[in-house]
Amino acid sequence: MSILSGFLYPPPSSAFMTAMTAIGTGALAYFGLSEAWGKHLQYSKFWNAGSPPSGKQIRVSSRVGMLLLYTPALVAAAAAFAVPAVVADDRCRLLALALALHFFKRDLEVLFIHQYSGNMILNSAIPITLSYFTGTVCMIYAQYVTQGVPGPTLDLKVAGEVLFLVGITGNFYHHHLLSKLRENGDKTYKIPKGGLFELVICPHYLFEVIVFIGFCLISQTLYSFFFALGTLWYLMGRSYATRRWYLSKFENFPRQVKALIPYVF
């Protein structure tokens, strides 16, 4: 922990935050490994992967399901502005604003950008919704309890703001490219082109990771650090599974295209 002392606020002496850090990171790591091993959360192209009999599951439209994922976190981030101590603290205010902007953008994309062809299994939506919601609440709370505590030696707020803006812009751009693959009601899958799709099959995931690294640098708390690490772990597993899916569906899929990190993974 001493290695991180100049980078992070000291962790609060709170059993609740210790438990939430361990549970949140462990859950994201578990789901990331599950994705890599072929046990998928059932949304997007994997919505019907390994489905049980239809009578034993609840399906919702992908658009409704995606709104369910992001809206509670958006509400939580927006509600933080009703707390005077959050508004009065620079880091708390900036973190809550960044979280609200991220999930507001995601809701707008669900409503106006993404083109959907399948459904979502409710049992898969619930853990993702809980992860985003509890992650948002705990990031803001972890920041809130640092008030009055000496800050890290390195102030990385500005670097976090820059990474957040790069991440949210890159994420939107590649979601826009994906939406262009399904114009005029076309619901078939195609190999994405343009942007960083020439290097990785999930650049939108890469930029989402950058968004969460931005949150981490804005807040510089132990919770945000481990939540960003868990998000990276989960999206590595999901992108690995996505690349494997494209390889199985398209004989002409370019094998030099990686899953998440250009030239590396």
pLDDT higher for 43 or 39? 39
Kindly tell me if the per-residue pLDDT of 55 is higher than 80.
Answer: no
CA neighbor of 4 nearest in space, from 230, 233, 224, 235:
224
Q: What is residue 48's predicted lDDT score, i.e. its pLDDT?
A: 59
Among 54-58, 89-93, 109-113, 222-226, which is the least confidently predicted range? Answer: 54-58
- Rounded CA-CA distance 18/242 in Å is 33
Using one digit for the tens of pLDDT, what is the confidence trace for 240-252? 999 999 999 999 9
Using one digit for the tens of pLDDT, what is the confidence trace for 19-36? 999 999 999 999 999 999
Helices 122-144 and 222-249, packing angle to 10 deg: 150
Kindly tell me if the per-residue pLDDT of 211 is higher than 70.
Answer: yes
Q: What is residue 57's predicted lDDT score, i.e. its pLDDT?
A: 80
Instruction: Annotate the chain with DSSP letters as a single string.
Output: -GGGTTTSPPPPS-HHHHHHHHHHHHHHHHHHHHHHTT---SSGGGTTTT---GGG--EEEHHHHHHHHHHHHHHHHHHGGGSHHHHHSHHHHHHHHHHHHHHHHHHHHHHHT----SEEEHHHHHHHHHHHHHHHHHHHHHHHTTTTSPPPSS--HHHHHHHHHHHHHHHHHHHHHHHHTTGGG--------SGGGGTBS-HHHHHHHHHHHHHHHHH--HHHHHHHHHHHHHHHHHHHHHHHHHHHH-TT--TT-BSSSTTT-
* Mean pLDDT along residues 153-176: 97
Using one digit for the tens of pLDDT, what is the confidence trace for 77-131? 999 999 999 999 999 999 999 999 999 999 999 999 998 877 888 888 899 999 9
The conformational region for residue 263 under phi > 0 = left, psi -120 to 50 = alpha, else beta, is: left
Using one digit for the tens of pLDDT, what is the confidence trace for 181-205? 987 777 788 999 999 999 999 999 9
Report phi then psi at 94, rounded to 5. Answer: -65, -40
For the chain, give the mean pLDDT.
92
- Rounded CA-CA distance 265/263 in Å is 6
Kindly tell me if the per-residue pLDDT of 236 is higher than 90.
Answer: yes
Q: Which amino acid does the sequence have at 244?
A: R
User: In percent, how much of the chain has pLDDT > 90?
Assistant: 78
Kindly tell me if the per-residue pLDDT of 53 is higher than 50.
Answer: no
